[in-house]
Amino acid sequence: MASSRRDLAVRAAVDQGLLSAAEPVVALLDTAGIRASAAALTSAFAAVTDAHVLHAFAVKAAPLVPVLRLLHEAGLGVEVASPGELALARAAGVPPAETVLDSPAKTPAELRQALALGITVNADNLQELARLDALVASAPTASPLGIRVNPQVGAGSIGALSTATATSKFGVALRDEGARKAVVEAYLERPWLTRLHTHTGSQGVPLALMAEGVGEAYALAEEINHAAGRQQIDTLDIGGGLPVNFHSDEETPTYAEYARLLADTVPGLFDGRYGLVTEFGRSLLAKHGTVLARVEYTKTSGGRPIAVTHAGVQLATRTVYAPDAWPLRVLAYDAEGRPRTGEVTVQDVAGPACFAGDLLATGRALPLLHQGDVVAVPDTGAYYFAHHYAYNSLPRPGIHGFTVTGGGDAGDAGTGNGGAGGSEGGSDAGVVAFTTVRKPQTLAEIVAESGGALADALVG
């Protein structure tokens, strides 16, 4: 998210009452930034290949129907990993031909639905492939089908997100004894298997390791096609996983860097013989989302200032439980939404949950926060506020997309969504318009989700 657009949006969110004493936490999505990331992805691969490429957004990164619709209008499909994600994609209007189903635990019902719709399916293992055998034999399908393989090339710096380790739960482990031969034979026995999928990991995985994993899958595809005596595998799904810079507003690494690296290290991938599928998620959305939260109280404990806010573990779960792996920046604004100035002070920024570890930042140097101020947590557009963690039955926040028109750094006017008003911070400030992506959760909805209509179920 461009910092100038973010500053305008913070001020406008306060001015227009999106963030208030009654609604002390809110999430914002920069529509222009999302469009720009989608364009950067498609242009990066168009620069290195003329082959057909389906860029399938990983729905798990931001399972929000309006986001999926926006990305689809920008030319992207979807990658889904559950019936819920598929339902979201269908609600967004993404057609089956632009939908890919991946999951290590697909049920027979999920597979049957996917084949009936014509959705691409990547089998995670040979037992799943046996299920597909029966389903394909029982009814014709237009679904492109393939197998996911684990090239076992190693881990990045975050083990939980490294999917190409020796013992990863994903895919057929190619370096295990007999596994590669079994995969080749599986293709030769099933002429309807036409795709091959791999994914090395995401945050913490260096580009070189990602490219190595893709290279292993390409080599296997070449081996299978040679053994078949024809181009049986016509499409390679190379996954996603571009890491995100959480330390500044700079968007690095870039899709262009990764595409060029692949072109240099796996040139045959782009010579036109193979269609391609990518499955990027975090890198498309992270930089374009910001959490805003009011500072409810400030205090001092052990000589250290503490700002108690309404954004914590319920929105930034990974950061709270694994702060070293998932650090987030915190930006300080005053009660009117203007960047706070003043002497920088080392302080903690805490969330609202009732446990001591609910901290967004510990010992962070910021202008001293005051009661009623606003903290902004950028880079949270993926895997943060869209993935609510209901600790203390804290409600899901409202999510609002915004566009900026006019001014010196308005950028793309965005989707033209409704919502009027703006922040008039000067002649070149621009006007900010918001549109609701997800309404804030009500207390009645919390009660309903928690069995409110079944209060006597255990005492009747």
- CB–CB of 210/269 below 8 Å? no
| Beta bridge mates, 64 | none
C-alpha 47: how far from chain center = 24
- 357 DSSP 8-state letter: T
Q: What per-residue confidence (pLDDT) applies to 423?
A: 39
User: Measured between alpha carbons, how far is 123 from 120 in angstroms, rounded to an integer?
Assistant: 10
Give the total residue count for the chain: 460
Residue 162 has pLDDT above 80, yes or no: no
Percent of the chain with pLDDT over 90: 83
- pLDDT for 274-283, tens place per residue? 999 999 999 9
- CB–CB of 315/322 below 8 Å? no
Burial bucket for residue 435 (CB in 10 Å: 0-12, 13-18, 19+): middle
pLDDT band at residue 87 using 50, 70 and 90 as cut-offs: very high
Mean pLDDT throughout 149-177?
70
- pLDDT for 317-364, tens place per residue? 999 999 998 999 999 999 999 999 999 999 999 999 999 999 999 999
